[in-house]
Amino acid sequence: MDDLTPQCNSSSQEYPCRYRNPDDQGTQYALIIIPVFLGVTTVLTITLILWKTCCRKWEQERAPIASLQDKPVSSESGYVAMAAVEHTLLPVRDPGLRQWEIPGDTAIEDLEFLRSGRFGPVCRAKLTQGGSSTAVVIKTLRDNSTTSKAKEFVNWIRFCARVCCHDNLVKMMFCQTELWPMYLIMEACSPGNLLHLLWELRKSDGESVDQVHEFSETSVYCIGKQVLAGLDYLASEQKLIHGDVAARNVLINSRLGVKISGLSLAFEVQQTGCVSSRSAAVVPVKWLAPERIMKLPMTVKSDIWSFGILLYELITLGSPPYPELKPLDTFPKLQHYYRMKRPDHCGAPLYDLMKHCWMWLPQDRPSFSAVIKHLDSYMYLAETKMICNKESMNMNQYSLIAGVVL
């Protein structure tokens, strides 16, 4: 039979039969297969490019760590002898940092990558000196950094050497600026991050977490006073404003000793006189005072507002603030005098202090000294019973509600 003979088994006249040419079927398959093949090839090519880019970036990020891991110790020179000697990007040596340079009899061991920081990888490590070992955090400069970035990193080390000398601030221990790689060694705390500890306490079932004893409202008062002492030192002695007061920027030890971290905004203001829009955007809106949201200059009273949010985090064992609101809906509600309700386990004096910290006008908020006095005066009324919050903490949900990238 001729290939062009119409093939039709239907008796209906509504849909006339069409000629079926085998070449037409092949053409239809080609029209489908070719675009699909091209699409898959394009996706694979893009994926390969992205993978290679990520690998290259990862290698660059890990390069300073590899140098630290491979470093021999030289006691003759008085400094750590690096496998990679003098680097072309090293800035002019600062005699003021000579006393902070890491001694030659000191070893850095057991490096563990934590995260990518402002200047490069941040690691946890063990510092061995004179037969004793100490847990430390090492902040390194990326291997591919520019000369200007290296100078900024040295300025950051100078800043830490001058500022981080209060009992409630994370202290600087050593640095390396005269050899490559450049790094800064800070003290570490255990359990560590306060926000993470609060989440662990939710799952403790009345047991201690990393030797932390029962966490009660009294503990909130104790931690709050130490945070205020550190913030007051920054403001009064160093003329600095922290700018990002939150549980995620507080470290804590097993005795509830507090160390404030996260001074990058204070450093930027000290260096440039202002906070860049990019840096300001890093601070989640739910921790910001109204004037900060309106992009007005941050003040000491801005930190007071954020301290009130920190108190809420403490008494709720790390709940996100304004849990019923999306981040972008927070400011309109604040304009209409909305404030968070009194949390469970929160006594009236503590809640009154929170509301005082959240006064709309900065001048109506208390000073650091007034808040410390309030905590001292009412601590005897604080509940000593362990705070319980059995609600599970979903990290994705927390990030979404809090507006924080974890």
Structure letter (DSSP) for residue 101 = B
Beta bridge partners of 356: none
Per-residue b or e along 104-143, where b marks 16 or more CB atoms closer than 10 Å to that residue's CB: eebbbeebeeeeebebbbbbebebbeeeeeeebbbbbbbb
Residue where a domain stops, chosen among 153, 187, 221: 187
The predicted pLDDT at position 335 comes to 95
- Given the residues 143, 244, 303, 329, select the one marked as catalytic: 244
d(CA 115, CA 175): 19
Q: Which residues are annotated as a binding site for Mg(2+)?
A: 249
Is 272 inside a domain boundary? yes
pLDDT tens profile 157-170: 999 999 999 999 99
Residues 6+ apart with CB under 8 A from 222: 256, 379
Shared domain for 230 and 376, answered yes or no, is yes
Q: Residues at the annotated binding site?
A: 248-249
Region 141-152: mean pLDDT is 87
Residues annotated in the binding site for ATP, as ranges? 248
Residue 82 has pLDDT above 50, yes or no: no
| 279-290: average pLDDT | 93
Q: 394 vs 25, which has greater pLDDT?
A: 394
pLDDT of residue 385: 93
Q: What is the pLDDT of residues 240-254, one digit of tens each?
A: 999 999 999 999 998
Name the least confident of 90-99, 313-322, 353-362, 391-400: 90-99
Regarding whether 178 and 283 lie in a shared domain, the answer is no
Q: How confident is the model at residue 147 (pLDDT cuts 50, 70, 90)?
A: confident
- Answer yes or no: is 328 within a domain: yes
Q: Are residues 244 and 340 in the same domain?
A: yes
Answer yes or no: do 176 and 297 share one domain.
no
Handedness of CA 216, 218, 221, 223 (dihedral sign): negative
pLDDT above 90 coverage of the chain, percent: 56
Average pLDDT over residues 72-88: 38
- Is the pTM higher than 0.85? The answer reads no
Do residues 196 and 335 share a domain? yes
Helix, strand, coil percentages (3-state) for the chain, rounded to 5, are: 45, 15, 40
Does 172 lie in the same domain as 300?
no
At 61, the amino acid letter reads: E
pLDDT of amino acid 81: 36
Residue in the block written with tokens 């000629």: 19
Label residue 312 by pLDDT band (50, 70, 90): very high
The DSSP string of 154-205 is HHHHHHHHHH--STTBPPEEEEE-SSSS-EEEEE--SEEEHHHHHHHHHTST
**Segment holding 127, helix H or strand E:** strand 121-129
Residue 192: Cβ within 10 Å count: 18
Mean pLDDT, residues 387-394: 87
According to DSSP, the residues that pair with 386 across neighbouring strands are 216
DSSP letter string, 249-290: GEEEETT--EEE---HHHHHHHHHSS--HHHHTTS-GGGS-H
- The mean per-residue pLDDT over the stretch 224-229 comes to 98
User: Could you write out the DSSP letters of every residue in 76-87?
Assistant: TTSS---SS-S-
- In the predicted model, is pLDDT for residue 370 greater than 70? yes
| Tokens read off for 186 | 């800070």
**CATH label of the domain that carries residue 126:** 3.30.200.20
Do both 172 and 248 map to the same domain?
no
Has 244 been annotated as catalytic?
Answer: yes
* Residue 39 included in any domain: no
CATH of the domain at 238: 1.10.510.10
The verdict on residue 308 lying in a domain is yes
Domain membership of residue 343 as a residue range = 192-204+213-402
Looking at the domain assignment, is residue 312 inside a domain?
A: yes
Total of domains in the chain: 2
Which CA distances in Å does 355 have to 132, 165, 291, 322? 47, 32, 17, 14
Query: Is it the case that residue 1 has pLDDT exceeding 50?
Result: no
158 plus 217 within the same structural domain: no
198 and 179 within one domain: no
Band (pLDDT 50/70/90 cuts) for residue 233 is: very high
Q: Say which range, 47-51, 170-174, 347-351, has the weakest mean pLDDT.
A: 47-51
Tell me whether residue 337 is in a domain: yes
User: At residue 238, does pLDDT exceed 80?
Assistant: yes
